[in-house]
Structure 1
């Protein structure tokens, strides 16, 4: 059973825990029956395809894991805004196939979930500084993470369901 944890304004509340645990599973549902050609087709020159968005989510999970470890091991680290187009390590993800990307997402999500589930209240209250949103607890970073993912899920939905 999921638990409700809090300290001051630090929370890993049930809806956050559930989205963290399951939200990524929507990717397979959103793209079911969609051809590889459509998944890989950018909507316009220089714009990301649905597959690029999935590659971004795959890469960003690794960024998120690194940031959580940094917040746990450093006093109030300050992060730059992540931009996949400027990340040379994003390029290999863009050349991976769908099955490989989904396998990595699944494995890394288990890592993220286990990491965050094992944190105590003091650890959940640790702060990392986001360039736009300021001082965020690990719980708020997690909320940001799932909202960022949801944004890309919606983008994938739009790309695979739009008319050509």
Structure 2
């Protein structure tokens, strides 16, 4: 049993869209939230950077604990998210790239007995590692679309 090809490919490559989506965007536009209290495009990149670390930690917990139960992640309540919000785009992209290698190495090296291991999400219930990986790339895609909207908005 291994992860299906489209999931593996999205894990390997989807994050590369960030640099393309923001290419040529001024720093003012990158840091401008759509409205007060909302995240800017750069905040969304920072969130994706931080969330990769959360995902790696969760994968290790699933592999090392018997059916761990996770709280819903909320960046606004995570004190470790704050330093990422003050980073420059190139630094965030470097961290994302490095952590994605860690993610790929981790999931591609899993055995047939490790892949079906379960972690419990508060909304989606019992998820295998493959389902967690799917959730991860879908969550990332949601933020990629938000970044696209923010940097291309004419309002």
1:151 pairs with one of 129, 138, 142: 142
Shift of 1:64: 0.1
Task: List 4+ stretches of structure 1 deviating above 6 A.
Answer: none
Q: Which runs of 5+ in 1 are unaligned?
A: 1-5
Q: Which runs of 5+ in 2 are unaligned?
A: none
Corresponding residue of 1:110: 101
Aligned length: 155
Corresponding residue of 2:18: 27
Shift of 1:96: 0.4
1-structure distance, mates of 2:95, 2:115: 25
1:42 pairs with one of 9, 28, 33: 33
Shift of 1:154: 0.2
2:76 pairs with one of 60, 70, 85: 85
1:63 pairs with one of 54, 61, 68: 54
2-structure distance, mates of 1:35, 1:43: 15
2-structure distance, mates of 1:162, 1:122: 46
2-structure distance, mates of 1:119, 1:64: 15
Shift of 1:121: 1.1
TM-score (norm 1): 0.94
SS of residue paired to 2:71? coil
TM-score (norm 2): 0.99
Corresponding residue of 1:98: 89
Task: Output one character per residue of 1:5-57: Cα deviation in whole Å (capped at 9) or x when no partner.
Answer: x3xxxx50000000000000000000010001000001100000000000000
2:132 pairs with one of 141, 144, 150: 141
SS of residue paired to 2:114? helix
SS of residue paired to 1:44? coil
